[in-house]
Structure 1
Amino acid sequence: MDFAPDPALSRSEMESLQREIAAAATFTDDIDFTPEDVRDGDALVAGVDQAFLLDEDPERALSAVVVARGGEVIERTHAVTELSIPYIPGLLAFREGGPILAALDTLESDPDLFLFDGSGRIHYREAGLATHVGVITNTPSVGVAKSLLCGEPRASVDGLAEGERVAIDGDDQMPTDEVVGYAYQSRQFDSGRINPLYISPGHRVSAETAVEFVAACGGEYKLPEPTRQADAYADEKKQEYADTNA
């Protein structure tokens, strides 16, 4: 079945497609590597992020992918494509999915795991960006979001200690009440409180393993290192495009 994120679909058609994607997704572990393999550099992890060229007509997305093995960057690639619809909560993949797939098509390496800047199963129809692209590529994937789209934390997430995690249950906005992800406190500093990340499985990974993968990617910053690198690379390329068009 063609799950391509077609922005020409109506909203109801997009939501219907997302339900089909969720039904096709696997939210259990279907992998031949472990978080320890990621930590030890025995697996390739691709961080995916985007920047936007919004002062252009038409507006365009710059999708960046950084592939790393342990602490070593193996590959960096990107693509620039037009944006067809505005941001609509719950339909992010129909705005950004096409540009991301264009960037993934330029990869020379074959990542074992994708980390996306966005949600996976923590989504109104259990089909966030990480799930949508993960199912299309049939690659283990994890959503790493900075805010909670839906779902209900089992306990307060305020002031969590570094490394602490809180399960997120599906709520009445979702079709499930299972654990759909975790609030994960990747870093915390005495000088200022840092909000947690919201980790959810995209495809072929369980919620518990998803957060372990993010922890295994580590780094000195809030974001796991592959997505932090992708964010920095997207900003770097965006500045190059701005300088070229100045």
Structure 2
Amino acid sequence: MQQVHPELAPRPGLSRADMESLQRRVAETAVFEDDLSFDPTSVSLGDPAETTLSGVSNPPLVAGIDQSFLDDHALSAVVVLRGGEVVERVHAVSELDLPYVPGLLSFREGGPILDALAKLDSDPDLLVFDGSGRIHFRQAGLATHLGVVCDVPSIGVAKSLLCGTPDEAVDGRPEGWRTPVRADDSVDSVGGHPATPETTIGYAFQSRQYDSRPIVNPLYVSPGHRLSAETAVDLVSRLSGDYKLPEPTRLADKYADEAKAQYE
């Protein structure tokens, strides 16, 4: 996978002010509306052959991206699906240059993820990240930053809420429930992207609940690039299987752990 905007890629050695400035440039470049090369309704976890027979030709390639860690290195894993079929898996081990700083995750993990994406033979139509997209202080989370660098539609799927305010309380909601997450005072207006109390920057989405387990918390889904918030959460719903995480990132998480065992 090629970088379309390498000048916007996260790089080491920047001051905090320079990192935040670069994030604002990324957010100005990001597109938070649908600009897709595929029909969102063609995305599913079904058999690609059956999908083709049902009238959808060549279902889109969806890449799930996650990481595991080895001391001061990140192992970045990418799993590419067409329907429910895995068509490619790659990983890369890269040195980490920064500690974790809330709001600056892409500068710690973005470079290592780009190392893994560069190994792909395929060109995914959609990237699904374990992390935030527009739900971010400068509207430029990991999924937005790397989605813009690669100029590929992307979605951020986070397990906790970095910023913003859900319209409704999220506790104990049934499977399939969702509510908008609106910008709050911690979210900056950037370029042509306002951050008012009316601005939907993502959704809280209850992907699963289980009778045999305590209440499962929702996911926080936001558009990374070339997607609206509404389509982003619809796609995550379509990519949800039997687990809390959408299947692409769940498989990437599993593969990251498997690959990590080779280095321990």
Q: If the TM-score is normalised by the length of the shorter chain, which range does it land in?
A: over 0.9
CA distance in 2, matches of 1:210, 1:43: 15
Residue 36 of structure 1 and its aligned partner are, at CA, apart by 1.6
Structure 2 unaligned segments of length 5 or more: list them. 49-58, 189-194
8 Å CA contact 1:28, 1:204 repeated in 2: yes
Question: Are 1:43 and 2:60 an aligned pair?
Answer: yes
Local SS of the residue matching 1:183: strand
**Residue 16 of structure 1 is aligned with which of 11, 18, 21?**
21
Q: What is the count of residue pairs matched by the alignment?
A: 238
- How do residues 73-152 of structure 1 correspond to structure 2 at under 5 angstroms? 73-152=86-165
Question: Are 1:213 and 2:235 an aligned pair?
Answer: yes
- Residue 179 of structure 1 is matched in structure 2 by 200
CA distance in 1, matches of 2:42, 2:60: 6
8 Å CA contact 1:35, 1:216 repeated in 2: no
TM-score normalized by structure 1? Answer: 0.95
8 Å CA contact 1:130, 1:143 repeated in 2: yes
Residue 141 of structure 1 and its aligned partner are, at CA, apart by 0.1
- Residue 169 of structure 2 is matched in structure 1 by 156
8 Å CA contact 2:37, 2:125 repeated in 1: no
Local SS of the residue matching 1:96: helix
TM-score normalized by structure 2? Answer: 0.89
- Residue 54 of structure 2 is matched in structure 1 by none
Which residue identity is paired with 1:53? L
Residue 7 of structure 1 and its aligned partner are, at CA, apart by 2.1
CA distance in 1, matches of 2:78, 2:211: 32
User: Which stretch shifts more, 197-206 or 33-42?
Assistant: 33-42
Residue 128 of structure 1 and its aligned partner are, at CA, apart by 0.2
**Residue 194 of structure 1 is aligned with which of 213, 216, 219?**
216
Local SS of the residue matching 1:240: coil
| Runs of 4+ deviating beyond 3 Å | none
Local SS of the residue matching 1:49: strand
Residue 158 of structure 1 and its aligned partner are, at CA, apart by 0.6
State the identity as a percent.
62
Structure 1 unaligned segments of length 5 or more: list them. none
